[in-house]
Amino acid sequence: MTRAPHPFSTYRLQIREAFDLDKAAAVTKYLNDLGADWVYLSPVLEAEPGSDHGYDVVDHSRVDPARGGSAGLQKLSDSAHGLGLGVVIDIVPNHMGVATPASNSWWWDLLKHGRESRYATAFDVDWAAGDNKIRIPVLGDAGDDRFDALEVVGDELHYYDNRYPIAPGTAAAGDSAVDVHSRQNYELVHWKRADSELNYRRFFAVNTLAGIRVEEGWVFDESHAEIGRWFREGLADGLRVDHPDGLADPAGYLDRLAELTGGKHVLVEKILEGDEEMPSDWATAGTTGYDALGEYERVLVDPDGRDALGALDSALRSEPAGEFSWEEMILGTKRGIADGILGSEIRRLARLLGESGAPTDPRVVDALAELAAAFPVYRSYLPQGGEQLARAAAAAGAARPDLTDVIATVVQRLGDPTDPAAVRFQQTSGMVMAKGVEDTAFYRYSRLVSLNEVGGEPNVFSFTADEFHARQQRRLATFPHAMTTLSTHDTKRSADVRARITVLAEVADEWAAAMERLRQLAPVGDGPFENLLWQSIVGVWPASRERLHDYAEKASREADLSTHWTAPDEEFEKRMHALVDACFDDDRVASELERIVEVVRSAGWSNSLALAALQLTGPGAPDVYQGGELWDYSLVDPDNRREVDFDERRRILAAISAGETPPVDETGAAKLLLTHRALTLRRDRPELFERYVPLPVFGEAASNAVAIDRGGAVVVATRLPVGLRESGGWRGTELHLPAGDRIDALTGRRFTGSRIALSDLLATYPVALLIPASQKG
């Protein structure tokens, strides 16, 4: 069976020990019946023992036995290909898992032999900064006695459950463990020293994920040998590249990947900020869709809720309305990251800029941290993106006139593509952005938390229909095969949670009143965080007590204001957990929570279906995250990696295939109907989706509809459903389109002519998918 070189759609499966490749193979028939074109797998190379995500690869040479091994991948590939499904696999070129050194032969050899190891050039180590040792930040808080836990066991050095190799000839009978430790090629140091003294590159601030140097030819060859086999043997049809911004030369890497795969479909997890565009010289079909996610979201947000929700957020942070600045917030959070958990990366940059062996200049460290904080996008790709460095320099200079001379000197080096400091700054600025914005500011800003999403800018509140259409037309013209998405393993909240929260923009005053009552009933003492937490609870309700406790703890510590990962505030967290318990144990809190959920529930379903309709039919290749064809009310990981009930989905799909037209209700069957019909059309009738023309809607409620002709398939989606209901419905509003006979693929109803009343078209569902009558089936 001949497959197109690019997917019309994908379906993401999280492969882990509990849902391995054999189990994935067993659902390929269902995915094909659903309408998916390709199956999209999370990383499958051998990962850390017990890893539930796979982004901590320890052995590039084989498929993880715990995930089904090579035989499992062969079975999955055979099953998918036998049904006509393609296979795209997630890969992780930037880093490796080093939490358990004995599981990673490269890292073990490096620790054992140091600079003499064959893998000394595979990892990104600043040997001089560690006096020719790799600093491992694992020691606890036992003061001067913390080395008491060290012991020599055979040819290994043990620290509690941590095992490390002993270099040949460095241990003799009678030596103390401390003496042996002093002779190794690594130094075990207190965990807090990682912030300022770590001397190997990591993935963000995760000490157990060590960066590797795929720019080295042999490192690429050996870390991609198994990946190359997948394409030589026809096991895979495409790749998703995790975190290319961490690489020294992303464009060069993608060129090599194209050679390895024979030019097959490759997507990159690239986060674009605002109007930023993809680098023009990358060998890729496009991004993994976070940019699209924010567009779908914002066209459904009521712009009239902006001021009221903004005033609530300002009041909760005791600021005058209108004075809050998102830009100032992220400048502060990014600077805090550069000074804190990524301080070792900033200091390494400063060493590169200084004289060899000379003490690090604190003013250079200060200037670099200010530049990283002010950098407006994730990174540049010099010479592309030089204007972003200029913007950062101007902003940093304005904020810190005392550093003007140092900034000017530093920027001259950072703007030279051949300068090692420039290469490393580009690898570092994205870390500061991700940790400072996605993992800190997103948990501090509470105006409308459905907008606090990866790749989005919460200060951009909404899009007009015209703005939305322009962005879709640009995607079709530039990257027509890019992935689009609504939920991923990295999103802070699933699409259906966000869709319900978005309704709050339509009932902003009611939400402010509900917040006042809830804060009186279950006070915590951090207004913005309480707003964020209550919005999230409303978005996901009903949810288990355990899930909400876990989320509250993670969200509060990520915000890093009232409590912290490294120094939890017990009194604050006691009040916070009491708030969660009150949702279940306090009738007054439970009643208010249920009341506000009821206000937004049905409108949230409408928004969910609108999001799905726009994404599933829009430009690009839509991805469905596992289980998302039904309502999926998930919060941030690991909550979004819960088990999916595929048997239930098979049952509902069978009923739909037998002719059932499900209502919009708590089952989510209407969403599965929409997903099935849209994906099937995308796969079987691709010619219906080859253009993008906004269609005119006329009438009193014209602003409540988004309508597009995709080249034969016409999609109509409801927006602002609360306002639509309260104003009396569609009130004669009509869709205008070329005359013809059409059938709604969702309901089977026929519509004839060039004027269609939306009250008729959208009588059953808040969305419609019209196709020419001759194309039915």
Lowest pLDDT segment from 125-139, 145-159, 699-713: 145-159
pLDDT score for 777: 46
Q: Provide mean pLDDT across the span 30-52.
A: 97
**pLDDT for the residue numbered 144:** 47
pLDDT at 103 over 60: yes
CA distance 142 to 145: 6
Question: pLDDT averaged over the chain?
Answer: 96
pLDDT of residue 699 exceeding 90, the answer is yes
| DSSP helix/strand/coil, 750 | strand
Mean pLDDT across 164-182: 94
Beta-carbon count within 10 A of 98 CB = 26
Query: For 31-59, what is the mean pLDDT?
Result: 97
Model pTM? 0.96
pLDDT of 311-328, one tens digit each? 999 999 988 877 789 999
SS (H, E, C) 53-113: CCCCEEEEEEECHHHCHHHHHHHHHHHHHHCCCEEEEEECCCEEECCCHHHCHHHHHHHHH
pLDDT band at 145 (very low <50, low <70, confident <90, very high): low
Cis peptide before 638 (omega within 30 of 0): yes
Cβ-based neighbours of 638, under 8 Å, separated by 6 or more:
52
- In angstroms, the CA 370 to CA 366 distance is 6
- Contact between 720 and 752 under an 8 Å Cβ cutoff? The reply is no
pLDDT at 3 over 90: no
Pairwise CA distance, residues 192 & 140, whole Å = 9
Q: What percent of the chain has pLDDT over 70?
A: 99
* pLDDT tier for residue 569 given thresholds of 50, 70 and 90: very high
List the strands of the sheet with 156-159, edge to edge. 150-153, 156-159, 162-165
No. of H helices and E strands in the chain? 27, 27
Q: What's the rounded mean pLDDT across residues 433-458? A: 95
pLDDT of residue 358: 74
Q: What is the pLDDT of residue 775?
A: 53
In whole angstroms, give the CA distance from residue 651 to residue 166: 57
Predicted confidence at residue 321, as pLDDT, reads 77
Quick one: pLDDT at residue 768?
98
